[in-house]
Structure 1
Amino acid sequence: MVNFLFYLSLFLIWFMLVYHMFLMQGGYMHFLKYRKKADLWEKRMAYYPKVSIIIPAHNEEVVIEDTIEAMIRLKYPRKRLELIIVNDNSTDNTGAIINKYARAYSFIKAIHTKPPYAGRGKSGALNSGLVAATGEYIVVYDADNQPEEDAVYYLAQALQNDQKAGAVVGKFRVLNANINMLTSFINIETITFQWLAQAGRWFWFKLTTIPGTNFAIRRSILEELGGWDERALSEDTELSIRVYNLGYHIRFFPAAITWEQEPETFKVWWKQRTRWARGNQYVILKFLIQFFQLKNKKVYLDLFYFLFTYMLFLAGVLVSNLLFVLNLFMDLDISAGRISLVLLVLAFLLYMTEIMLALSIEKEQATLKNMLAVILMYFTYSQIWLALVVYSLYLEAKRVLLKQDVVWYKTQRYKQTS
């Protein structure tokens, strides 16, 4: 029995590692090809669809002005652009800052939500913005984002030229990557996620997950779906599956780039990532219940990926670690012996290869400093993530069993220093 559990856990771990290597190859192939598509589409871009940018903002006075200034610099015809900033029941100066810009620029609209329909989370604020939007395409940015000048143009360009795309997802980079070791880890994590999970899944399966920011979606689709699910902590993942179920695909188009802040302290990181994990677990449960009602069979692949990541792979790692520790104190008669050590070393090398390949795609990221950071991440950041997922599973199970309300945690922002 012990040997069966040990071999099963090794299989689960290696299945994920090999699958990620497969995805990373696809991500690299997408990197080599997407720019040609952008050049081709630019020649066809004779019409500029009207775009509504929605920014939900709750107590964002530290960052909102920089974000609005970045939106003002966007290279998109001003008459075809509207910026809707939803001041979601803020108690600081967010509302006053938004009003100042709304008075100065006619394309900026300020929306101020009030209780009881306020302060419930990002989904509620986005739905409020959607009601006021008039654009053909809806673009979403978080309140700490600074998109590059052509980001919205590329998002609209992709939707305009790919009629089968229900949404288009851009790339995001870490604005505060060099603050400390934690932000350095997050920078590496986000680069790897985008080129491995996003670009890789798009290249092989035409699957991509809508992130919380820097994406465009057809307004008609949002209206058909009834907007965002206000019970979902990961409203982006939940929306992705519903878009796929309508028969559309979601394109990953890294020509559209935004820069965003990431947590600078472990406490803020833990709260943010716990919300993300719980949100994805909510999505798994919600759509597993509806499993046989899903129309687009590709959704099954994504559901399985999330199930594997947050449950099966996690179980494999925990079981293998537990058996390893127990074997130090008692003879469990595990037959793998030296083979398990070889597999452990190979798993580490495969992990390093995947991440360094992803970093090599981004300019000045495949450095010795980052390689050393990746090694350190394996033994620290990655192991803490496992504990975080276990904790989030406990919280989500308690919420379901006790029928608790969903509580939204807003990530802390930091004043940018030049």
Structure 2
Amino acid sequence: MDLNIYFDHGITSQIGLFWQQVRAPILVPFLKIMVILCLAMSLMLFVEKVYMGIVIVFIKILRQKPEKKYKWEPIKDDLELANSSYPMVLIQIPMYNEKEVYQLSIGAACNLSWPADRILIQVLDDSTDPIIKAMVEQECKRWASKGVNIKYEIRDNRKGYKAGALKEGMKHNYVKMCDFVAIFDADFQPEYDFLLRTVPFLVHNPEIGLVQARWQFVNSDECLLTRMQEMSLDYHFKVEQEVGSSTHAFFGFNGTAGVWRISALNEAGGWKDRTTVEDMDLAVRAGLKGWKFVYVGDLKVKNELPSTFKAYRYQQHRWSCGPANLFKKMAREIASNKKVSIWKKFYLIYSFFFVRKIIAHIVTFMFYCVIMPTTVLIPEVQVPIWGAVYIPSTITLLNAVGTPRSFYLLIFWILFENVMSLHRTRATFIGLFEVGRVNEWVVTEKLGDGIKAKMSTKASKKSRLYLMLCGWYDYSFGKNRFYIYLFLQGMAFLVAGFGYIGVFVPNS
């Protein structure tokens, strides 16, 4: 027993000696450098948020609606020309085993208010389940029997995933008669007047290549997970998209609930599957060709948020990895482009990609989940109060203004976003360095009105244990009271790890 005690004491002494030897000459300087880098990234994000906040205030004050900025007139009926005054519109609905929602999207598309002989609905079914394929095909036949011009198209493989399906759909001969193409994912339900409100922008303004509508979430009140998503996405649609449309006539296409001018789509090179964000890829290429985009924020299209944590993580991996990978592939092309202004190129490279798609993810995780907790263990390194409190508080408040009804959930949202920053940061590095799951595409699971229960999943044990350890150390020996935040953040990782967030549909 005494030998064991002596041995344990010796190991402890060696660890303590090693800690003292590396702390001052190595860890302290390294941590100081990391704090400076994180503060610089925080300032970049802070300036970007404040800039967009100022712009959106002016947009609201001046009431700069797209109908005022661009020519917009309703398409009028002509008794002599019949329906030929209406352009031919193609509706594309890509699907993959969408058992729960296929009827909703097909039904909504077939009920759009547009002359029957001037619209063509194309269901692009990549389903691998033969039962679901038969159900979707039968639904298409049912609408066809009512006189709807609807086509059911399938492929022999899923090459290129959604981008591949959309690209293949554009190859059919009947598409050549169409001027515009509207795209709706399988869970999107456009209102009857969607085309009546969007197509006139394209008809009367030949420089416009894309008109994008806003998403409206039908299940935002379903669980805490969907409420958190609503807060993040509302900021994207109410601020980021509005600012991009108003100041640069450019924003990232959301992949659905938008209408493209087919000539703009073709000039940009069509659909490509080189990243998992084929929609953003197409938008950037079209923007570099000089095409303008219009965002119609008061036109909402119903859709479903992922309500299982597993589905949400897969979606966020794709949305974080894809933009980083696209940035790597297109940064040089953007910089050398001759068709757009230097200001627009700066906006694309710095604001759109670097700050929002890379810095925002990295600084959230590295600063608030790694660096700040580590300063508790190494008190020689201090984070200034403006960097630890004022800047993140301002950024958080600016993010939350898009969803005032959920303001009371702000603390939960902060903790949840920090948990998700772990997954997003990892995905961002995967995209930048093109390793691992860089081209992984997992279709976001839709549950429709299925029976739902609590979802169990896994979160990082290392993250929550490290935060708890730092919180305990700060509570016992520290002076800056970071332990309040550290305990809460550690609990957030714990809650996510045990699965008390989101819902789950039992296999039975």
TM-score normalized with structure 1 length: 0.87
For residues 425 and 399 of structure 2, what CA distance do their matches in structure 1 show?
A: 24
Aligned-pair distance for 1:145?
0.5
1:75-119 Cα deviation digits (max 9, x unpaired) = 22222211111111431423432343243243111111113xx35
Q: Does 1:347 align with 2:380?
A: no
State the Cα deviation string for residues 245-297 of structure 1 (Å, max 9, x = none). 11112111124321111111111100111011111112111102434432324
> Does 2:348 match 1:302?
yes
Mapped contact 1:70–1:146 kept (Cα < 8 A): yes
Task: Give the drift of 1:155.
Answer: 1.9
Cα pair 1:8 1:316 within 8 Å, conserved: no
Residues 71/314 of structure 1: CA separation in 2 closer, same or farther (3 Å cut)? closer
- What is the DSSP-based 3-state SS (H/G/I as helix, E as strand, rest coil) of the residue aligned with 1:303? helix
Q: 1:299 to 1:250 in 2, by over 3 A?
A: farther
Spell out, residue by residue over 1:147-188, the C-alpha distance to the aligned partner (whole angstroms, 9 max, x if none): 112122222122123322111111111121111001111112
Structure 2: segments with no counterpart, 5+ residues: 1-28, 78-84, 452-508
Larger C-alpha radius of gyration, 1 or 2?
A: 2
Question: In the TM superposition, what whole-angstrom CA distance separates every residue of 1:193-220 from its partner, at most 9, and x where no partner exists?
Answer: 0111110122223221111111111111
CA separation in 1, counterparts of 2:281 and 2:117? 32
Equivalent position of 2:462 in the other structure: none
Q: Which residue of 2 aligns with 1:114?
A: 156
| Cα gap change, 1:405 to 1:358, in 2 (>3 Å) | closer
Where do residues 269-348 of structure 1 align in structure 2 (5 Å cutoff)?
269-295=312-338, 296-297=340-341, 298-305=344-351, 306-321=353-368, 322-334=370-382, 340-348=384-392
The residue type equivalent to 1:371 in the other structure is F
Per the alignment, in what secondary structure is the counterpart of residue 60 of structure 1? coil
Match of 1:378 in 2: 414
Say if 2:153 and 2:169, in contact at 8 Å, map to a contact too.
yes
Q: CA RMSD in A?
A: 2.7
- Hey, what's the Cα distance between the residues in 1 that align with 2:140 and 2:371? 60
Other-structure match for 1:410: 443
Once residues 96 and 183 of structure 1 are traced to their aligned partners in structure 2, the CA distance between those partners, rounded to angstroms, is: 29
1:82 alignment counterpart? 120
- Cα gap change, 1:129/1:29 in structure 2, threshold over 3 Å: closer, same or farther? farther
For the residues of structure 2 that align with 1:318 and 1:191, how far apart are their CA atoms? 22
- What percent identity do the matched residue pairs reach? 18
For residues 440 and 33 of structure 2, what CA distance do their matches in structure 1 show? Answer: 40
Matching residue's letter, 1:59? N
Partner of 2:424: 389
Summarize the Cα distance change of 1:290–1:183 in structure 2 as closer, same or farther, 3 Å threshold.
Answer: same
Mapped contact 1:151–1:255 kept (Cα < 8 A):
no
Q: Distance in 2 between matches of 1:67 and 1:331?
A: 57
Q: How many residues align?
A: 401
Q: Name the CA shift for 1:43/1:213 in 2 (closer, same or farther; >3 Å).
A: closer
Aligned twin of 1:22: 51
1:70–1:149: structure 2 CA closer, same or farther, 3 Å change rule? Answer: same
SS at match of 1:290: helix
Q: Does 1:127 align with 2:160?
A: no
Summarize deviations over 1:38-89 as a string: whole Å, max 9, x none: 9972357664221101111111121111111111221222222111111114
The separation in 1 between residues aligned to 2:366 and 2:231, in whole angstroms, is: 27
CA gap of 1:106–1:123, structure 2 versus 1, over 3 A, is: same
Go from structure 1 to structure 2 and tell me whether the alpha carbon gap of 1:6 and 1:352 turns closer, same or farther (over 3 Å shift): closer
Amino acid in the other structure paired with 2:132: N
> Residue 64 of structure 2 corresponds to which residue in structure 1?
33
Closer/same/farther in 2, CA of residues 141 and 81 from structure 1, 3 Å limit: same
| 8 A Cα contact 2:110 2:121, kept in partner | no
Distance 2:171 2:267 in 1: 13
Give the counterpart letter for 2:376 in structure 1.
L
Distance in 2 (alpha carbons) for counterparts of 1:313 and 1:347: 13
After superposition, residues 123-272 of structure 1 pair within 5 angstroms as: 123-132=163-172, 133=175, 134-272=177-315
Aligned to 1:362: none
Unaligned runs of 5+ in 1: 360-365
Question: 1:323: Cα distance to partner?
Answer: 3.5
Q: Which has the higher contact order (CA 8 A, sep 6+)?
A: 1
Structure 1 residues 98-147: Cα deviation after superposition (integer angstroms, max 9, x where no partner): 343243243111111113xx354100110122123231001111011111
Describe the shift of the 1:391–1:45 C-alpha distance in structure 2 as closer, same or farther (beyond 3 A). farther
1-structure distance, mates of 2:274, 2:246: 31
Q: 1:320 to 1:59 in 2, by over 3 A?
A: closer
Q: Cα gap change, 1:65/1:397 in structure 2, threshold over 3 Å: closer, same or farther?
A: same
Specify the alignment match of 2:132 in structure 1.
93
- Cα distance in 1, alignment partners of residues 321 and 373 from structure 2: 28
Q: Which amino acid aligns with 2:44?
A: F
In 2, the alpha carbon distance for the partners of 1:55 and 1:150 equals: 18
